[in-house]
Structures are given as structure tokens and as C-alpha cells.
A and B are shown apart, each in its own frame.
Chain A
Amino acid sequence: MTLSRLSTLLASGTLVLAGAAFAQGNPPTTAPANPATGAGQQSPTGGPMGTTGTTPQNTQSGTTTPAPSTGSSSTMSTPAPSSDATTMAASQPRPARADRN
């Protein structure tokens, strides 16, 4: 009876130790081959989940900065130079439209 319980305890302990050893032997990766399995579900535009059609420009607050000087052909204001060149790079491409040839 006592021997049987001891065997059960030893088997359980061995199983726990084996599981812990296996877990310690597999460190987490920050760059999985499939991002969906490592980082969870993400919005492709960087915006919040559950808001289809939302672009980063509409959802981010206070992260967009003006260009150093405007290229607008009709109004030429003079905002200060920006040191953040990556903000616009994260936004999506504009819809296709006709150009002026």
C-alpha cells in the first residue's frame, strides 16, 4: 500500500521534472516563422482590432508629425523639421488614381 503510493509519487515527480526540463530546453523566440503563432492576432494596419477599415492615421493619436516644409502647391506653411521619418513609412499606400501624365 505504502509502496504503491511511493511509486505513484515517484512517477508523478519524474513526469513533472521531465516536463520542466523540456520547457527549459525550448527558449521563447521573438521572431517566429509564423508571426501569427508568436504574436497573436494583429491588425494589418497597426490600428485597434475590431475596427475594419480603420487606418493608422485615424487611430494613432499624437504620433504623426508634419513634414519639414510643405510641398503643397497652393499653401506654403513652414512647420518645423521633424526627426521622425518612420511615422509615414508605417502607413498604407494610397489608393490608385489617375496622374497628370
Chain B
Amino acid sequence: MPTATEPGARPPASPRAKRAAPFTAVSFAGVVLAAALTGLPPQPASAGPRPVAEQFAQAAVAAGDNLSQPFAVIDKTAARLYLFDRDGHLVASSPVLLGLARGDDSVPGIGSRPMADIRTEERTTPAGRFPAEPGTNTAGEDITWIDYDAAISMHRVRATNPAERRLQRLASPTASDNRISYGCINVPAAFYDRHVKPMFASRGRAVYVLPEVAPLDARFPFLRVSGN
């Protein structure tokens, strides 16, 4: 069952592991540097979702794209949200619900259309770099805007429609059933209040939504620049 995790909950390393820590750190730094220099592949099937997000975070920090600010990475393939500090260290992660349709773009003008007029294939969560900002929706709920013009936000999971089974989808071990929203990112309420809301109380901090169709470097040019 996927749950929210925090690095601090990991068990302490053994003395042998501690002795090997410097070499491990150097090796990891080498992997990160190589990824930054060569550009990341579009999420190969062999790579786990967490390493992809963490490698991406390291590349973003190396390129200075996060502006020395904490940031978030959303891996749509894994349906998981990762929060990093300004130095690219993982702070916490959680499963999330995403747009029902597969795709990396929003239909132009979709932000001003009524929900009832949005077709199934238009219910995408767009990929890219978004300067997040705290805000409020018309129901008076405090949310985090990801793409205000496209009406994409990150908010506490809404279980108002029992037929959608959003809570069950979040709790399930699979990622494929986490695609149910109209594009917004639904976050477990406790995780949102504890991590997301404080992190994005300031405007302009980046939320990176990794693409599921397009190549990574097509959406994040700093990867391509780093590879030169």
C-alpha cells in the first residue's frame, strides 16, 4: 500500500554502511552528474519512479532551475508527488490522483470551461515547470495553484463523489487507477496540510510535472543545456 514517506523515518545505517558512505556519496554524485550532462531519458521502464524524480531533482538543482528554493516533482507515471528542499534532498513523498486522460498538454481555454463540458480525453494533467502559488477556489477552499490559467491546482483529495472512489484509489498499491481527476492533483489531506501547504505558502516555488508522453528534455530545457 503506497503511503507518504519521509527520509527521516529510515533506520540508522550500520557501522559498515557508514564506512562505505563516502564512496556511496561519490558514486551517487557521479550518477547525478552523468544524468545532468547527458540528459535524462523519458522514464525507462527499468527505472523506479523514485530514482527518476530524485535524479531529476538533482539535475534541476545543478542547473539552478529551482532558484535555490524548495520544489516539488510530480511523476505522473508513478502517480506520486515528491517534495525536495532547496538543495535537492528529498523531504517527503506521497501518492496523488491525477487527470484521467493520458497527455502532457491542456486544451487551450479549458480553464474557463465548465467541468461538464470537459470531455474525457481532455482531462489531462499538463507537464512542465509551474511557479506555484497559494490561492482559493470558488468554494473557498485554500489550494495551491499549479497552472492558474488552465485551472490546475494541487489540493486535498475530494471524496465528494463516492462513485469516483478517490480515497480507495489513493490507497491502492497501483498507480494506474490514480487517474480520475479533471486535471488537478489530489493529495492526501494530512500530507497536504503537513507538507504541501507550508512549502508553497510563498509564491513562485517550482512544481515540476514530469511528462508521460513527451521526452523530458522537451519540457525541461535545462536538461538539454546541461548536456551540451
Residues from 77 to 91 in A contacting B, C-beta threshold 8 Å: 78, 81-83, 85, 87-89, 91
Output the least CB separation between B95 and chain A (Å): 18
Interface residues on B, range: 35 or more
CB-CB under 8 A for A67 and B131, given A100-B183, A100-B184:
yes
Residue of A nearest to B131 (CB): A67
Total CB contacts across the A-B interface at under 8 A: 117
With the chains together, A100 CA to B136 CA distance in Å?
13
Residues from chain B with a CB closer than 8 A to the CB of A81 are: 63-65, 67, 222
Interface size on A, residues (CB 8 A): 26
Is A100 within 8 A of B108, CB to CB? Answer: no
Interface centre among A69, A70, A73 (most CB of B within 10 A): A73
Interchain CB contact (< 8 A) of A97 among B123, B138, B158, B218: B138
- Give me the interface of B with A, judged by CB distance under 8 Å: 63-65, 67-69, 99, 104-106, 108, 110-111, 115, 118, 123-124, 126-131, 133-138, 140, 143, 145-153, 155, 158, 181-184, 202-204, 206-207, 209, 218-222
- Chain A interface residues toward B at CB < 8 A: 67-74, 76, 78, 81-83, 85, 87-89, 91, 93-94, 96-101
